[in-house]
Copies of this chain bind each other. A is one copy, B any other.
Amino acid sequence: MSSRKTLAHNLRVLRAARGLSQEALADAAKVDRTYISALERQKYSVTIDRLDEIAKELGVETYVLLMKDLPPEALSGDRA
């Protein structure tokens, strides 16, 4: 399982869990709307600097975005 694929999946799941559109997340993370779309389609290999920004907006630690099995507290949105 590549990290591109894991990330794509987790972005979709976490975004849905928070009721955010690609556009809403993009705005919050200060990136283009089509960029989030590209990541969810595994278009390229994101850098950890971008991951940090996106993770922050989703309220999770950066490494969580690369976990195959998301911890329940990530889904619920708890930042503990």
> How far is A42 from B15 in the complex, measured between Cα atoms in Å?
29
Number of copies: 2
Please name all residues of chain B whose beta carbon is closer than 8 Å to the beta carbon of A47 when the two chains form the complex.
44-48
Interface residues of A in 43-57 (CB under 8 A from B): 44-52
Residues of B within 8 A of A52 (CB): 2-3
Nearest B residue (CB) for A65: B63
What chain B residues lie within 8 Å of A51 (beta carbons)?
Answer: 3, 48, 66
- List CB contacts (< 8 Å) of A1-31 with chain B: 2-4, 6-7
| Cβ contacts A to B, 8 pairs, < 8 Å | A2-B52, A3-B48, A3-B49, A4-B48, A4-B49, A63-B63, A63-B67, A66-B66
